[in-house]
Structure 1
Amino acid sequence: MWPRVTREVADDLAADAIARDRAGKPPYDEVARLREAGLPALLTPPALLGRGRTGLGLPLDPDGHDGHGGHGGHGGHGGHGGHDGHDGHDGHGGHGGHGGHGGADWRTAAAVIREIAAADGSIGELIARHYVLSWSGRFFAATDGPAAGHEPPAVAHSWLLGGSTDLPDPETGPGLTLSPAASGYLLNGRRTFAAGVTVADRLVVGATATHTGELLIALVNPAHPGVLAGTDNDRLGQRLTGAGSVDFDNVPVDADHILGALPRDEHAVSAFTALAPLALRLVLSHVALGIAEGALAEARDVSRAVQPAPRSEAPDATTYAVRPSGDPYLLLAYGELATAAHTAAAVVERATDALEQGLLTGRDLGMDERAEIAVLVAAAEAVTSRSAVDITTRILELTEAATSSDGGAALDRFWRNARALTAQSSPTHRLRDIGDHYLNGTHPPFTARS
């Protein structure tokens, strides 16, 4: 089901991607499209979808009505160029929303992220971060056990999660704090988040407990009056992720809304919990790869539309020039870029397999196993970040800079999105860690930071 559903959503997003990128508005409508398709609940454990449900596998709301299935879909958009070498599909007419069918694995989630990112990099990042945050109650719980307490209501109300569980950078200040209070805690501080600030139904945040020094992972309702969000939609790229800063002023957090904790000493973190930042880094690699594949597909469509050059009468004239996009140098360039995309995909998929196996292992995961996963994720980051920037840059040359200013394909949005996304990490650091591991057997830094 998920490939079909995802393709429908991706085609829908691609149809008006240029207009939405230019407008730079908070992605309320885009999130509604994700909900209609049931994508936020994709990683939900099957057990949460089996009992107390309607015939569609949906929860009942307090009035006894079906839960979030969809509304009527967005009608009649033309399809966009396919990925991995496939041609574009016909546009989909209006489609009804899909129910909240979950129980998918991480490989499926990664494929969804990549497909959505090819159509709209911002929304790909938004859903990617949501998926990692949706596992916070599993990554940070003290022991393996039943599903985290936030998961049933998250499914019932089709929540989209925003925020970050990353440790605060000491150079940027203390981050968020949680002080003990009668009913649980009070959350205070200011934090900048890369996605979901304006559109998330709940924020998942890491905050330092003032009485223990632990990093507690808290679930926060952004509708509380003590939560003040400021958006950052006028960025170079990834404008529609809902990025921005949030101020928390004595926001109450019930004890039941603490999803887990990290010890003060990072080295005491379990190998399984330390997969959380690796999961985030890997899904963002899928976003970068999706942006590159989407850029390449759209550039191909532009190049195919170019009129063939006049046939040369020279004795060594080739048949390349008598068909559209027949320049042999153009063919060489596309061959190089397609190969780069395929290479990046192979590296990312290997890392995805390793991460999924580590997640299935659970808390029996060892330090050496986690280190191997970390190396593969670092390789995925290094390869995709370079490929994404290179591909999205070179397509502007191959299509004679079909940018936003010409009112046409606006292919510069792919370059802007790739630059904004990959600027968050340094391939040099990742390559150094890989080299140290390969040459000296050294484990990559064991940290809860992404």
Structure 2
Amino acid sequence: MSTPRKSPKRPATRTAPAPSGPNGGRPAVPVADRPVEDDFWPRVTRELADDLAVDALARDRAGKVPFDEVARLQEAGLPALLTAPGPDLRGVDWRAACAVVREISAADSSVGELLAHHYALSWTSRFLDPLRAAPDPLARAAEENWLLAGDMEPPPAESGHGLVLTPSDTDDGGWFLDGTRAFASAVTVADRLVVGARPGGTGDQLVVLVDPGAPGVFTEAGTDRVGQRLAGAGTVTFERVPVGPGQVLGVLPHDEHAVAPFTTLAPIALRLLLVHVGLGIAEGALAEARDISRAGHAGPAPAGHPTRLPATDGAPDDPYLLLAYGELATAAHTAAAVVERATDALARGLCAGWTLGVEERADVAVLVSAAEAVAGQAAVHITTRVLELVDGAPGTGAGGGGPGFDRFWRNARALTAPTQAAHRLRDIGDHYLNSTHARLTLLA
């Protein structure tokens, strides 16, 4: 049964405590407090990734709600990284944010997924309302180091109306929010939820910001997940939750022809961030397998070979092992090249803002679809093969699988399973052959 969302005390973290912020005692580390050296964020990301890698297997097996992981992210200041540059805040661009997600995912892909969803949602107001006159409710997200969760996109048609807004009887023009939705990431640990709901269940959709600790909000954590166990997935039920006009981030028109091309970059941006999560999984698995092989462990015998070739002293020189790593490294490099091209295209589209045209949007969508297809296949292939490469190595346990190497495969499968690769390839082919544009839709 669902229970009201509470804000339990976060566990102590490993570094010196930062000053507490107003968001329930978590350390608030605004970007303005950070140094301005160009290498600062890469260095912070590497240090956090190294820290997460130390106990990634133990935390994956424990499968607890990721309060500790979120505390580590917030102490590093990473939730506030992707902010708009201004007089008070020094933000970074989407390329840098994608690089952060990719490196964190190589160490712990569940934490990478948390961050990916947060970064996509942090731009909600900009995707929806560029000429906003009222204060942006998300301005506090960077100031107070919030972690965001939710989904601004409408639910699939087969799932019903989703969330519904009913006008309240107050004079402020607010609503009551009702309904239930499942979310893929962070709802069990988020500081705020970004959700879309339709007044009366029909028409245009309002995207609103909700406090998960508010009365009437009930969160049920997802359990028994195959992979991405620490991503904080769950189901949220809203029962007459008050929503004021100041909580509205923007409007999604019901008529897709009224949606601006720039607005439809929102789901594409999230898809690309999740591609970086998948690429990080592949690179992390390959790097850990390489460390085991470098330690002198034997690789698997090739098909038809009667015995495993012996391990060597020093650098491995088993030709079949070298062949296997050559194949996997090439697959990783190929995926990275495609993903980086898509990242550059999305960054250009985001810089274009509301001047972005339909043609340019279609080109970005095609490149992101290609990145999804290539990186998804590479992630599953690489994580499957590394299970074979470390099978039977000393200290990896009976039955093979390495020291928790199955988690890379499980995470890759869980992350890529919702993506219909055939649909992406069909859209790419239609665009290439017939110059057909993908629909301007908010659905991923």
Residue 238 of structure 1: SS of its match in structure 2? coil
Partner of 1:257: 247
Structure 2 residue 341 is the aligned partner of structure 1 residue 347: no
Structure 2 vs 1, CA of residues 391 and 404 (structure 1 numbering), >3 Å: closer, same or farther?
farther
User: Matches of 2:133 and 2:66 in 1, distance apart?
Assistant: 33
Distance 1:403 1:435, change over 3 A: farther
- Closer, same or farther in 2 for the Cα pair 1:14/1:403, shift >3 Å? farther
TM-score normalised according to structure 1 size: 0.83
How far off is 1:234 after superposition? 2.1
C-alpha distance after superposition, 1:162-208 (max 9, x if no partner): 01112111111211111122231111000000011110000001111
Q: Is the 8 A contact 1:404 1:413 kept in 2?
A: no
In the TM superposition, what is the alpha-carbon distance from 1:432 to its structure 2 partner? 0.6
1:163 to 150, 169, 176: 150
Out of 33, 37, 48, which is 1:9 matched to? 48
The sequence identity of aligned pairs, in percent, is 61
How much has 1:368 moved relative to structure 2? 0.5
C-alpha distance in 2 between matches for 1:266 and 1:166 = 12
The letter for the 2-side match of 1:185 is W
1:46 aligns with 2:89: no
Gaps of 5+ in 1: 51-101, 310-317
**Residues 141-180 of structure 1: per-residue CA shift (max 9 Å, x gap):** 1x34689612332122210000111211111121111112
* In the alignment, structure 1 residue 273 sits paired with structure 2 residue 263: yes
| Shift of residue 446, structure 1, vs aligned partner | 2.2
Counterpart residue number, 2:380: 389
The answer for the alignment partner of 1:116 in structure 2 is: 104
SS state at 1:46 partner: coil
1:22 aligns with 2:12: no
Match of 2:182 among 192, 206, 215: 192
- In the alignment, the residues of structure 1 paired with residue 339 and residue 187 of structure 2 have an alpha-carbon distance, to the nearest angstrom, of 28
| Aligned pairs for 1:315-354 within 5 A | 323-354=314-345
Change (3 A) 1:398 1:178: same
Query: Paired residue for 1:129, among 117, 128, 135?
Result: 117
Contact kept, 8 Å, 1:292 with 1:388, in 2: the verdict is yes
Which residue matches 1:68? none
| Counterpart position of 1:178 | 165
CA deviations 1:81-134 (Å, max 9, x no partner) are xxxxxxxxxxxxxxxxxxxxx410000000000000000010000000000000
**Corresponding residue pairs, total:** 390
| Cα shift readout 1:198-257 (whole Å, capped 9, x = no counterpart) | 100000011112276111111000001200000014200000010010000001111011
Q: Residue 149 of structure 2 contacts residue 192 of structure 2 at CA under 8 Å; is this kept in 1?
A: yes
Aligned residue number for residue 429 of structure 2: 435
* 3-state SS in 1 of match to 2:438: coil
Q: Deviation per CA, 1:414-447, whole angstroms, max 9, x where unpaired?
A: 0000000001111111011000000010012321
Matched residue of 2:362: which SS? helix
CA distance in 1, matches of 2:243, 2:56: 37
Q: Which moved more, 1:324-333 or 1:113-122?
A: 324-333
SS at match of 2:197: strand
In the aligned structure 2, how far is the partner of 1:417 from the partner of 1:382? 16
Which ranges in structure 2 are unaligned for 5 or more consecutive residues?
A: 1-39, 300-308
CA distance in 1, matches of 2:248, 2:106: 35
Normalization by structure 2: what TM-score? 0.84
Change (3 A) 1:211 1:233: closer
Q: Distance in 1 between matches of 2:402 and 2:87?
A: 46
1:320–1:24 CA distance, 2 compared to 1 (3 A):
closer
Q: Quick one: structure 1 residues 307 and 272, their matched pair in 2 at CA, closer, same or farther if it must change by over 3 Å?
A: closer
Q: Which amino acid in structure 2 is aligned with residue 190 of structure 1?
A: T
Report the RMSD for the aligned CA atoms in angstroms: 2.2
Seen in structure 2, the aligned counterparts of structure 1 residues 49 and 424 have a Cα distance that, compared at 3 Å, is: farther
Query: Are 2:347 and 1:356 aligned?
Result: yes
